[in-house]
Amino acid sequence: MIVTIDGPAGSGKSTVARLLAERLNFRFLDTGAMYRAVALAVLKASADENHHTAVAEVAKGVSISFDEDRLLLNAQDVTSEIRSPEVTAISSIVAANPEVRKRLVELQRDIGKLVNMVMAGRDQGTVVFPDAEHKFFVMADLEARARRRQRELAYEGVQQTLPVVMEQLRQRDERDETRVHAPMKPAINALVVDTSNLTIAEVVEMLIDRVQVR
Ligand code: DC
């Protein structure tokens, strides 16, 4: 069985997806981490993130795999590196490249064939798994998401003001929503959950109820 959870950055979707997978005894895949891995490979190759063919070449040449919770890029553990501000800044540019998407969608479908999965991303319910049994779109207003992101950054030792974090999220949302290939949007049959005023635990309960009832 496939459960998809799509939504914007800071909506809480990855945390919710991880907890939901634990409760259901499913595997969890954070597809955003895969786009981040390609973005990191682009940085490492000193390629121009806006150069279509250069980015496509990098994407073709990389190997991306998972070892439990660790993400391996060309067999190297890059789990922490893909969270850097430099990678975050270009990830949505790299993710707009259709060759990158083609490569990663294939990988995601292969992984989805193996076991029961909770897939988190932007296009899991719309493009990658249109026939998924359960689809959710988890969102929150920009300020709520920016406050969460600001807390995460502070935890990592990075201090940023709320307006700066809001602007970064807004730009990323805009790129993810307006790109031509697989733009971020709820699938027609997805349940849209606004998490602005909900705790993570409340969201997980809501999703569990939905998955177990049907
Ligand atoms: O979820 P995240 O912030 O780690 O994702 C990083 C970038 O990857 C984000 O800007 C959008 C992109 N992405 C995507 O286009 N499709 C997905 N399924 C997952 C992420």
Assign 129 a pLDDT band (cuts: 50, 70, 90): very high
**Pair of tokens at residue 58:** 């990098």
Is 11 a pocket residue for ligand 1 (Cβ < 6 Å)?
no
Task: Choose the weakest-confidence range: 13-22, 104-113, 151-160, 197-206.
Answer: 151-160
Q: What burial class does residue 56 get, using C-beta atoms within 10 Å of its C-beta: 0-12 exposed, 13-18 middle, 19+ buried? A: middle
Q: Where is pLDDT greater, at 101 or 213?
A: 101
Quote the ligand 1 centre to 96 CA distance (angstroms): 10
pLDDT for 156 equals 80
36 lines ligand 1 (CB under 6 A): yes
Give residue 197's pLDDT. Answer: 93
Of all protein residues, the one whose alpha carbon is nearest to atom 11 of ligand 1 is 92
Over pLDDT 90: what percentage of the chain? 90
pLDDT tens track for 136-178 = 999 999 999 999 999 988 988 889 999 999 999 999 999 999 9
Is the pLDDT confidence value at 214 over 60? no
Global pTM reads 0.94
Question: What distance in angstroms lies between residue 37's CA and the mean position of ligand 1's atoms?
Answer: 11
Which token pair is 24? Answer: 């259901």
Mean pLDDT (the chain) is 94
Q: What is the pLDDT of residues 29-44, one digit of tens each?
A: 999 999 999 999 999 9
Q: For residues 14 and 144, is the Cβ–Cβ distance under 8 A?
A: no
Instruction: Tell how strand 117-121 and strand 2-6 pair up.
Output: parallel
Atom 16, ligand 1: residue with shortest CA distance: 122
Q: For 44-87, what is each residue's pLDDT tens digit?
A: 999 999 999 999 999 999 999 999 889 999 999 999 999 998 99
Taking the C-alpha atoms of residue 187 and residue 189, their distance in angstroms, rounded to an integer, is: 5
Q: What is the pLDDT of residue 114?
A: 83
Phi, psi angle pair for 5, to nearest 5°: -130, 105
**Tell me, what's the pLDDT at 98?**
96
Atom of ligand 1 nearest to the CA of 124: 18
Looking from the CA of residue 14, the nearest atom of ligand 1 is 1
- Measured distance CA(99)–CA(22) in Å, rounded: 32
CA of 69 to the centre of ligand 1 (A): 17
The model's confidence at residue 97, banded by pLDDT at 50, 70 and 90, is: very high
